[in-house]
Structure formats: C-alpha cells, structure tokens
C-alpha cells in the first residue's frame, strides 16, 4: 500500500532531500546537491522566493520505506500578476512504480484544484533561477550541478498518466578547438565601434557586486517575451549574490556596456562542479568544500548559467563581443568545453549565438502539463 505524507520541519525535509541519494546511489550520471544548501532553499526564512511563492512537500511510502517525493508549488507572481493559473510541481523523484507517481501527482493536482488553478506543470522550481524539466534524452550523460537527473521511466510514468510535453529544452557541449576565433575577434571590434559599446571584465567578486542589480534588470527585460518567464525580484537578486557569486570565478562573468556605462548584455559561466559534487556526496565538510575549491581553480569544463541581451541590442552581433572575451579567458585557463545548461527550444535568439560553433546536443528535457478539470 502506498501512503503519501506531507512533511514539515528541517528534520523531515532532510529525508526529502536525501531520498535521491538512495535512488541514484549507483548512478555515474547523477550529481548530488549539497544537502545543507538544498535545505536552505526550502527555508521560508532564508529563501526570499517565499515572499511570493508557497510550497508543500510530500513523501511517498510503501512498506514503510520512502519510494518517492514531490513538491507542490504556487508562484503568486505568476498566478496573480501574469494571470497564468499554473500549479507547479518539482523535486519529483520516484522508484519505477507508476502507482507511486500517480499518488504523488494526484496530491499536487488536488491542491491545484482547491486553489482554482487551471493546469499542473513540472518538473519546475520556484522561479526561473531553479532547475527545470525531466530528461527525455541523454540519460547516459553526466548531469550538472544546475540540473535534475532522471531515469527514463519518469517520462514514461508522466505520459501514461496523461501528461503531455509542454516546454522543451536542450543541453549541448560547445567546443572551442575548431572555432574560427579570429572571425569573432574581428566582428567584435566592428560591433563595438558601430554601437559604441565595450566589454567589461572582472578580476574579483568585489568588482562584480555593484553591477548585479542592473544585470538582473537586463535579465528580466531579455526574457520577458518567453512563455516560461517569471520576473526576478530584488530580494531574490540579493539571495543570488550570497548563494552563487562565491562559487563563480570572476573571470567567467562578462558584461557589455554602452557609452554611458549601462549594461546592455551579460553572460555568467562557472567552472563545472559536477564531478566535485559527486565526490562531496552532499556534504561540504570535511572534504566536500576542498573538492569544490579545486574545481573552481582547476577545470577544463565550464557551465553556462545565465545570459541576457537587451531586446534593442539583440541580433546586432553583441554575442561576438561576449564570445571573443570568453575565448581569451578560456584559452588562458585551458578550458576545452562549455556545457550549455537547459535552453528553451523556441528561444531562437539564444540559439543564434552558437551558430558558428561546433556544438553537440547531449541532452533533451521537457516539462509536462495536465489540465485541471
């Protein structure tokens, strides 16, 4: 018999966070989160997303053992301001038993119905800064610290339960060895002269902090047209500064500014922490932090995290400036591959940035949707 229990408090949430450690114990592709970091993201007193979002957490039990988990999420900015009556679900992990998936998703569905929402969609997080989607291809590829891993039966369960693909994403490897970088350098110079813009590079995190608020203004404007976008708030920006900036090599952040020193574009990449987090096994101490520091300083792979270009500067070659600057940094630091984390398939603007690169699509993922009647 399958039972579903709603959980509260840090002690039970720790069981929620640790379930995938059991489920993916022998998987060479799953990348575990840092347990304390994951717990903090669920803490209403620490994560400012809860100023406009709510979440309820559920565990599934069978014969006294945890066999699945799910989070039921409502983002009020999305529901009330954007008028998108969506019931979100995320942190969806289950054993290969469709009845477990049915029971967990039924619980989320009922919450959506109780709140007058029109459809359920997931896996998604609280906001656009969270992980997204279930894998539909690329199960034999190493995950990243910025994505969820899932087994093939996840999508099979969802489809058998009547869920249909809603938003599709792709992940790719971007190789630098065969790139005609001289072309990018030349074009970068032309674009800078034509539009009176220039690149801005950083040597330390302190130099970046004064620009973070403005950067997210650009981010909000850049992605406003996308169907999945929910604006990032001021408090979430401050949370981002604390949570991520210390893990990002400042050299791997590039801005483009105009003649008035206003940001018109930005890109954030970070050293790949996937293998380091596998070695850390969910814990910063005693050795996890050392593995992360080592990955930050010595790595031949980077992950693309965020990128944005103001609408009025899109399709004007600004990407040439960004990639020219990244190449200089990557060449110096012996970076061979950039791992493009999930990009919406219909985001043609971002795809155009990579048209001259040797790209290998490694994974595909999507969110699944079901109407609430």
Report pLDDT digits (tens) over 21-62: 999 998 999 999 999 999 999 999 999 999 999 999 999 999
| pTM metric for this prediction | 0.92
> By C-alpha distance, which of 122, 78, 91 is closest to 369?
122
Which pLDDT score, from 0 to 100, does residue 178 have?
65
Both ends of the chain: CA-CA distance in Å? 27
Alpha-carbon gap, residue 48 to 45, rounded angstroms: 7
| Bridge partner list, 89 | 72
Q: Is the dihedral of CA 179, 363, 85, 46 positive or negative?
A: negative
> By C-alpha distance, which of 290, 202, 186, 286 is closest to 250?
202
Q: Residues 243-255, buried b or exposed e (16+ Cβ, 10 A)?
A: bebeebbebbbbb
Alpha-carbon gap, residue 359 to 356, rounded angstroms: 9
Let me know how many helices (H) and strands (E) the chain has, helices first: 13, 13
**Which SS3 state, helix, strand or coil, does residue 180 take?**
coil
Alpha-carbon gap, residue 140 to 207, rounded angstroms: 39
Output the six-digit token pair for 208: 């970046």
Domains of the chain: 2-169 (3.40.630.30), 174-365 (3.40.630.30)
pLDDT in tens, the chain (373 residues): 999 999 999 999 999 999 999 999 989 999 999 999 999 999 999 999 999 999 999 999 999 999 999 999 999 989 998 899 999 999 999 999 999 999 999 999 999 999 999 999 999 999 877 999 999 999 999 999 999 999 999 999 999 999 999 999 999 998 877 677 788 889 999 999 999 999 999 988 888 888 888 998 998 888 777 666 777 888 888 887 777 776 778 899 999 999 999 999 999 999 999 999 999 999 998 899 999 989 988 899 999 988 889 999 988 989 889 989 998 999 899 998 889 999 888 777 676 777 777 788 999 999 999 999 9
Output the six-digit token pair for 278: 């596998």
Could you tell me how far CA 209 lies from the centroid of its own chain?
Answer: 21
Alpha-carbon gap, residue 12 to 31, rounded angstroms: 22
Alpha-carbon gap, residue 151 to 27, rounded angstroms: 10
Which pLDDT score, from 0 to 100, does residue 329 have?
92
Contact (CB, 8 A) for 123 and 148: yes
Output the six-digit token pair for 86: 């969506």
Could you tell me how far CA 124 lies from the centroid of its own chain?
Answer: 10
């Amino acid at each position: 018999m399958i039972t579903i229990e709603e959980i509260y408090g840090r002690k039970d949430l720790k069981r929620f966070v640790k379930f995938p450690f059991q489920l993916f114990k022998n998987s060479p592709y799953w990348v575990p989160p840092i347990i304390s970091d994951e717990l903090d993201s669920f803490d209403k007193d620490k994560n400012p997303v809860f100023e406009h979002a709510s979440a309820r957490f559920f565990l599934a039990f069978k014969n006294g053992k945890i066999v699945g988990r799910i989070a039921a999420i409502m983002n009020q900015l999305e529901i009330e301001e954007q008028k998108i009556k969506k019931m979100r679900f995320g942190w969806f992990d289950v054993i290969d038993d469709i009845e477990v998936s049915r029971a967990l998703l039924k619980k989320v569905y009922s919450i959506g119905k109780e709140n007058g929402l029109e459809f359920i969609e997931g896996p998604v997080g609280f906001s656009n800064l969270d992980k997204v989607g279930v894998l539909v291809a690329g199960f034999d590829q190493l995950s990243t610290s910025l994505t969820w891993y899932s087994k093939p039966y996840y999508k099979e369960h969802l489809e058998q339960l009547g869920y249909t693909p809603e938003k599709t994403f792709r992940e790719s490897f971007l190789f630098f060895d065969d790139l005609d970088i001289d072309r990018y350098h030349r074009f970068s110079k032309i674009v800078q002269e034509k539009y009176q813009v220039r690149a801005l590079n950083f040597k330390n995190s302190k130099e970046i902090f004064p620009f973070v608020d403005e950067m997210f203004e650009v981010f909000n404007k850049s992605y406003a047209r996308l169907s999945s976008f929910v604006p990032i708030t001021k408090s979430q920006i401050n949370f981002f500064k604390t949570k991520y900036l210390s893990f990002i090599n400042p050299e791997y952040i590039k801005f483009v500014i105009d003649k008035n020193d206003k940001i018109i574009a930005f890109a954030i990449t970070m050293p790949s922490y996937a293998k380091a987090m596998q070695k850390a096994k969910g814990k910063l101490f005693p050795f996890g932090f050392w593995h992360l520091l080592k990955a930050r300083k010595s790595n031949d792979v980077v992950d693309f995290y965020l990128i944005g270009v103001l609408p009025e500067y899109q399709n004007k070659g600004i990407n040439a400036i960004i990639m020219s600057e990244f190449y200089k940094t990557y060449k110096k630091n012996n970076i061979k591959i950039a791992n493009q984390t999930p990009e919406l398939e219909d985001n043609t603007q971002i795809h155009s940035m990579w048209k001259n690169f040797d790209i290998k699509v490694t994974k595909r993922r999507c969110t699944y949707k079901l109407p609430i009647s």
